[in-house]
Structure formats: structure tokens, C-alpha cells
Chains A and B, each alone.
Chain A
């Protein structure tokens, strides 16, 4: 019997870059929503992202806070949207950053997703998990507030839609935290097929 040594996911996985110039708006929207969810989990996420950029050697793509702000504002729903575009290389950097952070907060993501199920099943009181519900409600509230403050007014989503979006982003982030998170997210964003095989 042998114990398996699990491989650390690649820091910068080989993701196929399309030849088209710049990402579709839907890709920019999805990436920004995922980053918004990370921010809703931790309001200091921008600082974490900037530190991570250095660790992952992505400084050429995201040199500073302003460029990060500019890249996120390529989401056409943003209040500060200025018709800017996001290159595929920048989108790839976002995918790497999102999955890297998701991996580090996997435990927290599991807790939030599980608590959401328990809340829907009305098991929170029975199981005495009110504190976990507090974390979840705090996440929903932060996501809601960030969404309304960052996106154009009047909002394209009502409160219920924003909550659904926040839930969907949690599930997406959970799967981004997996060993093939980058490939899965990239495939979903592009609508393309990827094959991962290392053995």
C-alpha cells in the first residue's frame, strides 16, 4: 500500500488563448462578479490580490492597483465603465488569481455553501449553527452592498437576483478551488473544451 503524493496545481496553467482581440462582455462580467464575491468574503481582498500578483509573477499584466481597477471596470455594468476592453492575457491572469485565492479559502467556501443548504432546509436552528448563518448573511449583505455601489444605477438586478448571483458565485468559487479550477473556469468562460491529463 502506498500513500499518494498529491501534486500542487500549476501556478500558471497552460490555458489556450483565443485569437480574437479582447474578451466578450460576458467574460468580463463573469470575472468581475467572481472577484466581487471574493471581495464580499474579505473586504481586504484587493490587497491580497495585489500581493498575490507579485507572488505569481503577474506584475507585468497587473502592475498596480490602478490597472487592477481599470481591468475590473471593463465590466459593462460597472458604474465607471469606460468602454475599455480586457485582453485574453489579462482575463487569464484574473482566472489564475481567482482560482488561487479560492484554493486558499476552500474551507470557508465549503462552510458558506453548506450553510446555505442548511438554511434552505431550515436546519440551522436544529443544528445550532446560527454563527455560520451569520457568516453567510454577512457575505450576502457585503455582496449586495458592493454590487449596488460598484454597478450602474439603477441596478440591473433586484435584491433577490443579487442574492441568487451571490449564491451562484459561491458555488463557482468552490469549483474554482479544485485542482483543475483554472481549466474548468476557463472552459466555462470561453465555451471551449479542455483536456487535462498528467498521468
Chain B
């Protein structure tokens, strides 16, 4: 009996279909998937290989958003920045063996991209599946733009401070200027109402 699972996010729905090898509820053999984008009606349909490539590509691309987005080209899938905050996901067959892959091109803004990544993450983390999908999180080089440009200056200032006897007289921290209090906290109700 086929098993279907849906991973619904506001801007896309990822649906997988398969069967259980043991005959229970655990989906262990994937027969196909469909990812539908609500903003354009576009959908990606494919088999396990395509889904695995999609998992790899989106996971890697998401990590590049930490800094400047960098295009990811992985077999039949490409994901690249188009303009600021807009990303193009393209799926196309690369040879005759992939003739069943339909050409799909969809533009995603950052939130729509987040939803795609999140639907895939949820699929991979779902304990009801036994598909051995892994999300490989590969980083871009951890660097802060600020640190890259000004760190040498800090090191210089630090050296100067070491040379100075004044260093040992660590000043008492001054209280931060009191910001204007907001009447209502956005986060506190979530914390207070949760059970931890």
C-alpha cells in the first residue's frame, strides 16, 4: 500500500510517496516526490535521485546565504542568485538517461527559498521515514565582513594596550544608555507561555 507524506510550508509543499519494506508505517522505499511552489504553481516531479540532488543543492546553497550567495550546480539542478534576494532554481536533464526529468525554472525570494530548505530538512528529520537521507551542511568560510576589514586595526590597538601599564587598570563597565522601552515585548509572551 503506497504511503504519502506531506511537508507543508507557507510557500511550498513537498510530497513524497513510497512504500514500506516491512509492511508497517515507515516509508522506506521512495517511489517519487513532488515539490509545488504556491506563488507560481510550478512543480518539480521526480524520483529518488532527483530528490537527493535537490537536498544536496538546497542545503549547500542555504549555507552560502551566510555571506554572498554563490551558485550551486549539481548535475541536473542549478541554484544561483539572480539579483539581490532573488534566486533561480533550474532543473533540466543533462543527458538522455534523464529524459524523464522535466525542465523547471522557478524564481524564489529568500523566504520562499527558506521554505524549500525547511520542507527538505523536515523530510530528512522525519522519524517516520527510513530513507537514509542526510542533510550535509557545508559552510562557506566563516568570516565577518567587519572582521576582515578592521581586525588588523584591532590587533594594533591591542598591542598598544599591552604595552601600556594602563591596561591593568581595567575600567569599570559603564552602563549602556537605557534604550526607550517598548510597551509590549514581542518575544517574552512566547517564552512565558511555553512550557519549556
A contacts, CB < 8 Å to B: 1-7, 24-27, 29-30, 33, 38, 41-45, 47-48, 51-52, 54-56, 69, 73, 76-77, 79-80, 82-83, 101, 104-105, 108, 110, 113-114, 116-117, 120, 142, 145-146, 149-150, 156-157, 165, 171-172, 174-175, 178-180, 183-184, 187-199
Dominant secondary structure at the A interface: helix
In the bound complex, CA of A108 to CA of B6 (Å): 25
For B179, give the chain A residue with the smallest CB separation. Answer: A43
Query: A27, A178, A197: which contacts B118 (Cβ < 8 A)?
Result: A178
Number of chain B interface residues as a range: 35 or more
**Residue contact B187 to A4, C-beta cutoff 8 Å:** no
Residues of B within 8 A of A180 (CB): 121, 125, 135, 137
B contacts, CB < 8 Å to A: 3-7, 10, 25, 62-63, 65-66, 84-86, 109-111, 114, 117-118, 121-122, 124-147, 149-151, 154, 158, 161, 170, 173-174, 176-177, 179-182, 185-188, 190-192, 194, 196
Please give the distance in Å from B109's CB to the nearest CB on chain A: 5
Asked if A7 meets B126 with Cβ closer than 8 Å, knowing A179-B118, A183-B137, the reply is: yes
For B172, give the chain A residue with the smallest CB separation. Answer: A80
Residues of B within 8 A of A26 (CB): 142-144, 147, 151
